Structure 1
Amino acid sequence: MTQVRKAIIPVAGFGTRLLPISKAIPKEMVPVVDRPLIQHVVEEALAAGINEIVLVTRTGKSAIEDHFDAHAELEDSLASKGKDALLETLAAIAPPELKITSVRQPNAQGLGHAVFCAAHLLGKDEPFAVILPDVLVKPQADGNTCDLGRMVELWDASNAAQIMVEAVPQEDVYRYGIVDCDEPSAGESADMRGVVEKPKPEEAPSRLSVIGRYILPYRIMELLRDQPPGAGNEIQLTDAIDRLMQEGQQVQAFRMQGRTFDCGHIEGWLQANNTLAREAGYNL
């Protein structure tokens, strides 16, 4: 069985929910405590054993690629001043096993289109992860679990696509994509029957919302190739996942064990900084 080694991270969005911060700075470069948001997400992938990152990007996002590139002048300056700790910090941004590739999304046509932009970088029948960088997924304060790594394990064991979910209050289900499945225990998966985008609370099949972490088979790329536009006149990844299930492919909802921080809006970004800074020992 082909192992999951690649993750597609769409970073071409405008970050309108973070304006005015994101007017001149890519939202993925906004700091969360001591490093930009995108570095947290790449570290999550590495912890899951995924070392090849494909950034789906656009004009004006070069700072993301620069962050993971070498900076010889800065490194030489730090070395000449004996600032070894800072040199180690820079080296940790892009460890030797990390491979970063960028592709352009020529125009915004939805998440499904962004994912498909990376299809040519996958081998035939190669599974892959999709990670949406707006949302940080962190272990509980007293734990060290890697939910993405657990999803990879479940893929390896079952060859079933994995969609990360978390429970939300019933009154909030209208904000999310909600999966239809029997409720799994934390850290486990259950077969999905479908997914409903932003249902009315009284019509929701469950309280389990899609988080933005996926382990998918290559077949999704073949489906996205001719996927018609859906909601918002955009090519939706969830529509292709629905077609995958209709073909008989097993798709499972993985119930996360950790915590999420939605850094795509100001309140969630502030919460992430406040919570994670305190846990890191900063005095606020």
Structure 2
Amino acid sequence: MTQVRKAIIPVAGFGTRLLPISKAIPKEMVPVVDRPLIQHVVEEALAAGINEIILVTRSGKSAIEDHFDAHAELEDSLASKGKDALLEVLAAIAPPQLKITSVRQPNAKGLGHAVFCAAHLLSQNEPFAVILPDVLVKPQAGDARCDLGDMVMRWDANSAAQIMVEAVPENEVYRYGIVDCGGSEPNAGESADMRGVVEKPKPEEAPSRLSVIGRYVLPFRVMELLSDQSPGAGNEIQLTDAIDRLMQEGHSVQAFRMTGRTFDCGHIEGWLKANTVLAREAGYDV
């Protein structure tokens, strides 16, 4: 069975929830502690054994690609001054096994459309991951576990698509996509078969408290379904609609309940929280 080696990261959004910070700086380049948000996400993919990153981007986002590119002049300057520690920091941004490819999303037509823009970069029947960079997924303090890596291993074991979820308070389910596992909720670090996803349900109508996080491991069939997917919510091509069709075809789709923590860096409060919590854990006095 083909292993998961590629991750699609959509980075074409405007980042309106981070304005005015994101007016001239791609939101993915906003720093979280000591490195930009996108680097945290790419490091998560590498930790999961995924070394090929496909950025779905647009004009005005070249800083993201530049961040992972070589900077010979800077490196020569640091070397001439004997700043070896900083050279090591730069080298860690793009280790030798990392491969970065970019593709443009010509029009903003939804997450499903963004993902489909990368279809031609996958081989036939090749599984892939999707990582939404607004949300950081970090292990619990003192833990090295990689939830995305566990999802990849579960795909390798049973070929079931994996959707990362976390429990949210009952009075907040209306804000999220909530998975339906038929009343059988998985424990942390485990997966359970899904029946569907309900978008922003009323608390009394929610099938569970498990919300979709923005980490997916999917079969290539999803790309084929996206090729003719009709617009859904917001008149956009929705990834969840294609996943729902995948389930209707009888393909196993599972909800993987994360063990770590999430930080929604797509808005100011979540970004500030991520910086505060993670900086303290890294030993900074904040």
**Do the two structures share a fold, i.e. TM-score over 0.5?**
yes
Q: Which residue of 2 aligns with 1:72?
A: 72
Q: Which residue of 1 aligns with 2:276?
A: 274
Shift of 1:239: 0.2
Equivalent-residue separation in structure 1 for 2:200 and 2:238 (angstroms): 14
Q: Which residue of 2 aligns with 1:208?
A: 210
Q: Within 5 A, what are the aligned runs for 1:183-194?
A: 183-194=185-196
Equivalent-residue separation in structure 1 for 2:158 and 2:202 (angstroms): 33
Write out per-residue CA displacement over residues 144-187 of structure 1, whole angstroms, 9 at most, x where no aligned residue: 10000000000001100000000000000000000001200100
Q: Which amino acid aligns with 1:230?
A: G
Q: Which residue of 2 aligns with 1:220?
A: 222
Equivalent-residue separation in structure 1 for 2:119 and 2:284 (angstroms): 42
RMSD over aligned CA atoms reads 0.3
Q: Within 5 A, what are the aligned runs for 1:155-194?
A: 155-181=155-181, 182-194=184-196
Equivalent-residue separation in structure 1 for 2:162 and 2:107 (angstroms): 28
Task: Please give the secondary structure, in 2, of the residue aligned with 1:276.
Answer: helix
Runs of 4+ in structure 1 deviating by more than 4 angstroms, as ranges, are none
Equivalent-residue separation in structure 2 for 1:265 and 1:27 (angstroms): 10
Q: Which residue of 2 aligns with 1:283?
A: 285
Q: Within 5 A, what are the aligned runs for 1:29-178?
A: 29-178=29-178
Shift of 1:142: 2.3
Q: Which residue of 2 aligns with 1:198?
A: 200
Q: TM-score, normalised by structure 2?
A: 0.99
Task: Please give the secondary structure, in 2, of the residue aligned with 1:195.
Answer: strand
Equivalent-residue separation in structure 2 for 1:236 and 1:166 (angstroms): 21
Write out per-residue CA displacement over residues 222-246 of structure 1, whole angstroms, 9 at most, x where no aligned residue: 0000000000000000000000000
Q: Which amino acid aligns with 2:251?
A: Q
Task: Please give the secondary structure, in 1, of the residue aligned with 2:133.
Answer: coil
Equivalent-residue separation in structure 1 for 2:135 and 2:219 (angstroms): 22
**Percent of residue pairs bearing the same amino acid type:** 88
Shift of 1:217: 0.1
Gaps of 5+ in 1: none
Equivalent-residue separation in structure 1 for 2:130 and 2:263 (angstroms): 17
Task: Please give the secondary structure, in 2, of the residue aligned with 1:25.
Answer: coil
Q: Which residue of 2 aligns with 1:265?
A: 267
Equivalent-residue separation in structure 2 for 1:12 and 1:142 (angstroms): 33
Write out per-residue CA displacement over residues 53-108 of structure 1, whole angstroms, 9 at most, x where no aligned residue: 00000000000000000000000000000000000000000000000000000000
Write out per-residue CA displacement over residues 181-200 of structure 1, whole angstroms, 9 at most, x where no aligned residue: 12001000000000000001
Correspondent of 1:240 among 239, 242, 252: 242
Equivalent-residue separation in structure 2 for 1:49 and 1:166 (angstroms): 22
Equivalent-residue separation in structure 2 for 1:76 and 1:121 (angstroms): 34
Q: What is the aligned length?
A: 284
Task: Please give the secondary structure, in 2, of the residue aligned with 1:206.
Answer: coil
Equivalent-residue separation in structure 1 for 2:20 and 2:201 (angstroms): 31
Equivalent-residue separation in structure 1 for 2:105 and 2:168 (angstroms): 32
Equivalent-residue separation in structure 2 for 1:194 and 1:281 (angstroms): 42
